[in-house]
């Protein structure tokens, strides 16, 4: 037993040394912290709020491009818009790609999704399939569902305004599952939403840069889970089934409903209908499963973050909220906003752009986000919450330090602007 342990330790040390030597850059690199032999900058890189340290290094080394290394894995940080545009856009054929993250891509099973693939044939065909469904011309197919779920969000906020972050998340997630798979969503505790959230929680934890040594030393993925120090492997074995459930369960349920003729038109039904193949022998079934899976992950995460940020922004900048409400009031006060109202609301559109960031599903996201923002501004006032003594509670807006950042729950008051506004919300259920 002792001999086995010594052998494994020696093999590990030799591998570390070799990886360190192979990973050392042979060409000049940007400035950055010097680091130590073998481990590089392992002790310099924090496990949380990496961007703060990167900004400090940028100032310290007087460069918007910073270099550091952990074991044999090199990282270059772009600390300005100009640097990012020059390298990742202007010279994208040379520099624009994604690294392979062993923990997330291989051990947790996220590697086949567009958001995680390296650039190449597999990425291109998935990106093309996604774009065909969510380009400007096709995105209008989703607007009836988006309108219904936007009204659903208003009704939820009217009934229970304190849980506004939950309502934002749930209504947006329901909208995207409906559009992607053509499935009905339960009013609460929908199993498909819960599966996706469980898998996403695992992803957010595992994707934090520098958290797992296996991302810098990929050969560690072969270490048995029972070995001391192999907690990452045990976490992966526990988490991988959640990823598979997220990808497989709604896909299978959607396919079954299509067979039964009960499925609403969706990304899934339109993708499976191409080429005249049956569901059972469709040659692109794996590709379609990957595309539908990333549609939920990308759509729910980014739109939820943007709409939550909108609520916080209206709370912090009440003068912007008032100006936006004046715009929606001047156009129409007798009904809730419709998509055709967008050209008449440039200020609301500008607010949306402030809280939205660019992706292949941006047109679906823009439609959903604009409609929800305009609708909330039409019928609700967002103000500071008050304590038991009617004193205003100053909001402390903070974001989670995870791979995907979301607003930490905060208190605010969301109230109907008038009795007529409340009636508009209640009547929306009849539309």
Q: How far apart are CA 100 and CA 117, in angstroms?
A: 8
Angle formed at CA 341 by CA 335 and CA 347, multiple of 5 degrees: 110
Q: How far apart are CA 279 and CA 209, in angstroms?
A: 39
- The long-range contacts involving 131-137, CB below 8 angstroms and separated by at least 24 positions, are 131/360, 133/267, 133/270, 133/271, 133/291, 133/295, 134/295, 134/360, 134/361, 134/363, 134/364, 135/363, 136/363
Element spanning 381, H or E: strand 380-383
Residue 91 lies in a domain: yes
Q: Residue 395 class from Cβ within 10 Å (0-12 exposed, 13-18 middle, 19+ buried)?
A: middle
Q: How far apart are CA 423 and CA 334, in angstroms?
A: 10
Residue 110 lies in a domain: no
The total number of structural domains in the chain stands at 2
Q: How far apart are CA 77 and CA 36, in angstroms?
A: 19
Q: Residue 350 class from Cβ within 10 Å (0-12 exposed, 13-18 middle, 19+ buried)?
A: exposed
Q: Residue 212 class from Cβ within 10 Å (0-12 exposed, 13-18 middle, 19+ buried)?
A: buried
Element spanning 65, H or E: strand 65-70
Q: Do residue 352 and residue 400 come from a single domain?
A: yes
Q: Do residue 272 and residue 349 come from a single domain?
A: yes
Give Cα 379 distance to the centre of its chain: 28
Domain boundary, last residue among 95, 116, 136? 95
Q: Do residue 50 and residue 164 come from a single domain?
A: no
Residue 225 lies in a domain: yes
Q: Do residue 86 and residue 135 come from a single domain?
A: no
Domain boundary, last residue among 95, 113, 143? 95
Residue 258 lies in a domain: yes
Q: Do residue 204 and residue 331 come from a single domain?
A: yes
Residue 118 lies in a domain: no
Q: Which domain holds residue 40?
A: 2-95
Q: Do residue 59 and residue 201 come from a single domain?
A: no
Q: Residue 411 class from Cβ within 10 Å (0-12 exposed, 13-18 middle, 19+ buried)?
A: middle
Residue 119 lies in a domain: no
Q: What is the pLDDT along the chain (431 residues), one digit of tens a residue?
A: 444 444 445 445 555 555 445 455 567 899 999 888 888 888 888 877 788 899 999 999 999 999 998 877 788 899 998 998 888 888 877 877 777 789 989 999 988 887 787 888 888 888 888 888 878 788 888 888 899 999 999 999 999 999 999 999 999 999 989 989 999 899 999 999 999 889 988 988 888 766 788 887 888 999 998 988 889 999 999 999 999 999 999 999 999 999 998 888 888 998 888 877 777 788 888 888 988 888 877 777 778 888 999 999 999 999 999 999 999 998 777 889 999 898 889 999 999 888 875 766 677 778 888 899 999 999 999 999 999 889 999 988 888 766 667 788 899 999 999 999 999 999 887 65
Q: What is the DSSP string of 68-106?
A: EEETTEEEEEE-SHHHHHIIIIITHHHH------IIIII
Q: Do residue 56 and residue 138 come from a single domain?
A: no
Q: Do residue 296 and residue 192 come from a single domain?
A: yes
| CATH code at position 148 | 1.10.630.10
- On whether the CB atoms of residues 421 and 334 are closer than 8 A, the answer is no
DSSP state of 135: S
Residue 112 lies in a domain: no
Q: Do residue 87 and residue 131 come from a single domain?
A: no
pLDDT score at 188:
92
Q: Do residue 159 and residue 235 come from a single domain?
A: yes
Q: Do residue 131 and residue 75 come from a single domain?
A: no
- On whether the CB atoms of residues 251 and 289 are closer than 8 A, the answer is yes
Per-residue burial over 96-109, b if 16 or more Cβ lie within 10 Å, else e, is: eeeeebbbbbbbbb
pLDDT score at 11:
47
Q: Do residue 86 and residue 185 come from a single domain?
A: no
Q: 0.95 cut: is pTM over it?
A: no
Residue 101 lies in a domain: no
């Amino acid at each position: 037993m002792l001999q086995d342990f010594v052998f494994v330790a020696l093999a590990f040390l030799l591998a570390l040394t070799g990886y360190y030597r192979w990973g050392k850059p042979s060409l000049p690199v940007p400035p950055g912290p010097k680091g130590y032999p073998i481990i590089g900058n392992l002790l310099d890189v924090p496990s949380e709020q990496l961007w703060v340290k990167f900004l400090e290094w940028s100032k310290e080394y007087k460069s918007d491009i910073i270099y550091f290394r952990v074991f044999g894995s090199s990282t270059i940080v772009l600390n300005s818009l100009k640097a990012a545009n020059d390298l990742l856009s202007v010279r994208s054929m040379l520099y624009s790609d994604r690294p392979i993250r062993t923990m997330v891509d291989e051990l947790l099973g996220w590697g086949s999704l567009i958001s995680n693939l390296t650039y190449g044939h597999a990425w291109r065909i998935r990106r093309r399939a996604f774009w065909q469904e969510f380009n400007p011309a096709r995105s209008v197919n989703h607007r009836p569902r988006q309108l219904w779920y936007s009204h659903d969000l208003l009704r939820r906020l009217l009934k229970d305004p304190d849980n506004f972050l939950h309502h934002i998340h749930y209504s947006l997630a329901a909208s995207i599952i409906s559009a992607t798979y053509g499935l009905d969503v339960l009013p609460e505790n929908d199993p498909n939403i819960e599966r996706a959230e469980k898998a996403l929680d695992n992803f957010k934890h595992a994707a934090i840069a520098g958290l797992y040594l296996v991302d810098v030393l990929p050969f560690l993925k072969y270490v048995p889970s029972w070995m001391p120090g192999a907690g990452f492997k045990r976490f992966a074995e526990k988490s991988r089934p959640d990823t598979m459930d997220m990808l497989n369960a709604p896909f299978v349920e959607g396919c079954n409903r299509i067979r039964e003729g009960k499925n609403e038109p969706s990304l899934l039904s339109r993708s499976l209908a191409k080429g005249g193949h049956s569901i059972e022998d469709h040659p692109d079934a794996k590709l379609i499963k990957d595309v539908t899976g990333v549609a939920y992950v990308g759509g729910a995460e980014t739109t939820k973050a943007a709409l939550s940020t909108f609520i916080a922004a209206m709370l912090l900048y009440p003068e912007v909220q008032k100006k936006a409400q004046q715009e929606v009031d001047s156009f129409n006060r007798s009904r809730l906003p419709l998509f055709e109202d967008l050209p008449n609301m440039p200020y609301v559109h500008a607010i949306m752009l402030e809280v939205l960031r660019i992706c292949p599903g941006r047109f679906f996201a823009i439609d959903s986000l604009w409609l929800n923002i305009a609708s909330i501004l039409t019928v609700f006032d967002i103000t500071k919450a008050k304590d038991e003594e009617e004193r205003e509670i100053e909001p402390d807006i903070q974001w989670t330090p995870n791979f995907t950042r979301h607003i930490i729950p905060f208190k605010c008051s969301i109230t109907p602007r008038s009795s007529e506004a409340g009636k508009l919300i209640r009547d929306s259920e009849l539309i």
